[in-house]
Chains A and B, each alone.
Chain A
């Protein structure tokens, strides 16, 4: 399923691979997955996705589909396409060739209000009607029914919290239990055809600190696990050699292309990149390439770093008929121009964000192609250094307003905002955790806004 084409002799380093899933177009790695919200890459309808987005794989969080569970069976659990194909793929109208990856939570997830929202048998998820409990058992069953190409096993990821040693121990125990149970469920189902590949989530600490789980993965589960999911880079530092052949999927919320390059240098294969949609919503057309453009400064003169994106709100674009970025082959750039996109943003027309979203994903597509090329040519390290010299370290500030915020998205934190794992929390013991959970059920956060109408213009 995952072939490593080229890797560095040292244990960690950039590598080339190919992710081949039955019936899907192979994904050359390093690459990225489109991040969906309720089954769509935000702004992009399914026909435009097929025709103009050029995205090879998507990440879909289950929490987007289960708002009334367990009291009411989520509709998607009752959906079975007549041809026996993946109910999730059919429901969200994802093309056959696109790789479908299912996980439990969004990236970035909305942080649970309770300090320790997960239990030994469940995690806390954020649905359109507030926080809900998702049982590990239900998640595994749902994943088997929905038949994604890749299912990321349920992780006990303490988003937004620091980890004490007791909590790490507990997370490790849960992780072992949940993975074993999930594998047992798959074995009891018996069937192997059309079965998802199972990826194991890793805790936010070094492998040494989750040793029993590592032992479980290497010794017990072995062949049954096809890849690893990372929520930070800590476990990469001492990843056991036995797991090196597994593909590495990252939910690490990189906030710049520099972050991506750094993570590739540590051996990540597949990314989820929330900053693409965040740039789109900010009205920013991404503008960076690898290799970085050649700049020849006049003798020893300082050249200002290039910006990573263009603020499309600026009046300077008003009569500019050039594409967002020169030579870009995306739909937005080949069919439309800066003047139109600036007009659409000012007029609050939703098409503005659609066109930016198409362009921004295309920029990432080319960026990854450039990365793969540089690895193939053994120049990744030097190109990475040059990229860091040529470009600003941050995306430009947003100046205009984004699209009207959906009630549902309101609490989501964009990349660059609240960083996880910074808060220095002390560990709560079991009792306190249960109290916290009970309280959380009382003060359920309702984030579903009323009247999420998308338009902006007065009705004629």
Chain B
């Protein structure tokens, strides 16, 4: 159980609750400044967001980005991080950083990782020697990184696993590991430890885990183990179940999600924070994320398309020169895509801005008590008003919180 009095380095101000859905607008005060919830967090895996300078990332209005503990633990390594004074100093990022525990990436990237009560055993990708990531080591690494939000080490297995006993074991082990993480955390007054709710797609396990973890009173709460290819309707049920049991006055983070419509539905189900590598990753393949879908600008059709990447977009890339932007056209992105890295950088700027702007719009709608209408408009725009193309899981999940996407 909780071995020391809970400490927190954040303040959560709930601004508005949506009168219809479970959506919330809040301000989260973190050690490196306030952020507005709900929010999307871009992923700067190795202390750099694919080709953007920290200044450009700041320009997209991002004030909280992710670093991956697994990668920073390898390069530059804990010793170097300690010598430099942490990840903020490493990347000269004056705003907030969230790190994962490293466990998920170990299990997903290293085939030979094996989970025991002690921790995650794996072979070093450097020289193949056996190593062990314990809850204590993960927290120690994250303490060296100095991230504003750190995650507990959890026992992650795919939600799609058929092994119910293993899922149950993983859930209970994650609770035990949370206690070890709390005990090992050296900087509770400057770094916020979030617990991670596990339990696969079993709603009873999820409920039990939620209650146990809420009792530990961490500054924030994450819902983990999702975004692993489970059916979207089951995903929504898990989020809905967990948020119903969570206290109002703590931030809720759904890890590894995702696509714009996943995020907007999850917001309606009461989640606040999201992260995904997709906007930057897809940019490298020439994909532009817009309010009417994702387009591959490497397609020949864009060679002569002199419109901005997304019309009306206010990002540095799309904004006309007369308004201080670059006025970059689709034709130009087509011209450089896959030939000069700058093409991917420009699209990353647009894509990250698109996600952040979408969240800004969602938050405004929540504050003004028009989030249901915002959802209706979003899906209408995405599917050009063709309701038959609306994804059934989204329609169902939103109906469950009082929004009928199909109503006239």
Q: Could you tell me which A residues sit within 8 Å of B by CB distance?
A: 37-40, 42-48, 51-52, 65, 75, 78-79, 90-93, 128, 318-319, 321, 331, 335-337, 339-340, 343-344, 346-347, 349-355, 403, 406-408, 448, 451-455, 457-460
Contact = CB atoms under 8 A, between A and B. Distances in A.
Contacts of A343: 46-47, 75-76, 80, 90
A75 B256 contact: no
Given A93-B327, A336-B92, A460-B68, A45 B342 contact: yes
Contacts of B243: none
Contacts of A40: 336, 340, 342
Interface stretch (B17-25, B52-60, B234-242): B52-60
A39 B332 contact: yes
B341 A403 contact: yes
B188 interface: no
Given A75-B331, A335-B92, A128 B339 contact: yes
Contacts of A339: 76, 80, 84, 90
Contacts of A46: 326, 328, 342, 346
B331 A319 contact: no
B314 to A, nearest CB: 14
A38 B339 contact: yes
A287 B336 CA distance: 31
Contacts of B91: 336, 340
Given A38-B335, A354-B53, A460-B45, A321 B316 contact: no
27 contacts: A39-B335, A40-B340, A42-B341, A45-B56, A45-B342, A45-B349, A47-B317, A48-B53, A52-B53, A65-B335, A93-B326, A319-B84, A339-B76, A344-B46, A344-B47, A346-B76, A347-B71, A349-B50, A350-B341, A351-B53, A352-B48, A354-B53, A453-B285, A454-B51, A454-B344, A455-B50, A460-B43
Contact of B51 (A51, A52, A350): A350
B198 to A, nearest CB: 18
A56 B166 CA distance: 63
B303 A340 contact: no
Nearest to A92: B332
A175 B108 CA distance: 63
B53 A344 contact: no
A321 B81 CA distance: 12
Contacts of B338: 406-407, 451-453
A343 B73 CA distance: 12
A433 B331 CA distance: 37
B375 to A, nearest CB: 28
A344 to B, nearest CB: 6
B339 A406 contact: yes
Contacts of B76: 318, 339, 343, 346
Given A331-B55, A339-B80, A460-B105, A350 B345 contact: yes
B51 A79 contact: no
A350 B340 CA distance: 11
B329 interface: yes
Contact of A45 (B43, B339, B346): B346
B75 A319 contact: no
B118 interface: no
Interface of B: 43, 45-48, 50-56, 59, 68, 71, 75-76, 80, 83-84, 89-92, 104-105, 108-109, 256, 277, 281, 284-285, 303-304, 306, 316-317, 321, 326-329, 331-332, 334-336, 338-342, 344-346, 349
A423 to B, nearest CB: 29
Contacts of A352: 48
A340 B51 contact: no
Sorted nearest first, the 10 A-B pairs with minimum C-beta distance are A452-B338, A319-B83, A350-B51, A347-B46, A349-B48, A454-B341, A351-B48, A93-B326, A40-B342, A75-B304
Given A321-B84, A340-B92, A452-B338, A347 B51 contact: no
B80 A457 contact: no
Given A453-B338, A455-B284, 16 more contacts: A38-B335, A40-B340, A45-B342, A46-B328, A48-B53, A75-B331, A318-B83, A343-B46, A343-B80, A346-B75, A347-B71, A354-B53, A452-B339, A454-B51, A457-B45, A457-B46
Contacts of B326: 46-47, 93
Given A346-B75, A457-B71, A460-B45, A47 B56 contact: yes
A354 B51 contact: yes
B192 to A, nearest CB: 21
A346 B74 CA distance: 11
Contact of B53 (A92, A321, A355, A408): A355
Contact of B46 (A44, A47, A349, A453): A349
A448 B337 CA distance: 12
A353 B53 CA distance: 11
Contacts of B75: 343, 346-347
B16 to A, nearest CB: 32
Contacts of B104: 460
Contacts of A319: 80, 83-84
Contact of A38 (B80, B84, B340): B340
Contacts of B284: 453-455
B320 to A, nearest CB: 10
Contacts of B321: 90, 93
A403 B51 CA distance: 12
Contacts of A351: 48, 51-53
A322 B52 CA distance: 22
Given A343-B76, A354-B51, A43 B342 contact: yes
Contacts of B105: 460
B49 to A, nearest CB: 8
Given A38-B335, A78-B304, A406 B340 contact: yes
A82 B196 CA distance: 54
A356 to B, nearest CB: 12
A44 B52 contact: no
A458 B329 CA distance: 30
Interface centre among A40, A408, A448 (most CB of B within 10 A): A40
B93 to A, nearest CB: 10
Contacts of B349: 45, 47
Nearest to A50: B326
B256 to A, nearest CB: 7
Contacts of B334: 75
Interface centre among B50, B54, B345 (most CB of A within 10 A): B345
Contact of A335 (B54, B108, B285, B304): B54
Contacts of A337: 92
Contacts of B84: 319, 321, 339
B317 to A, nearest CB: 8
A452 B343 CA distance: 11
A45 B43 CA distance: 20
Given A354-B51, A454-B284, A318 B340 contact: no
Given A39-B336, A340-B91, A91 B52 contact: no
Nearest to A337: B92
Contact of A79 (B50, B89, B108, B306): B306
Contact of A459 (B92, B277, B316, B332): B277
A42 B340 contact: yes
Contacts of A453: 284-285, 338
Contacts of B335: 38-39, 65, 75, 91
A335 B71 contact: no
Contacts of B71: 347, 457
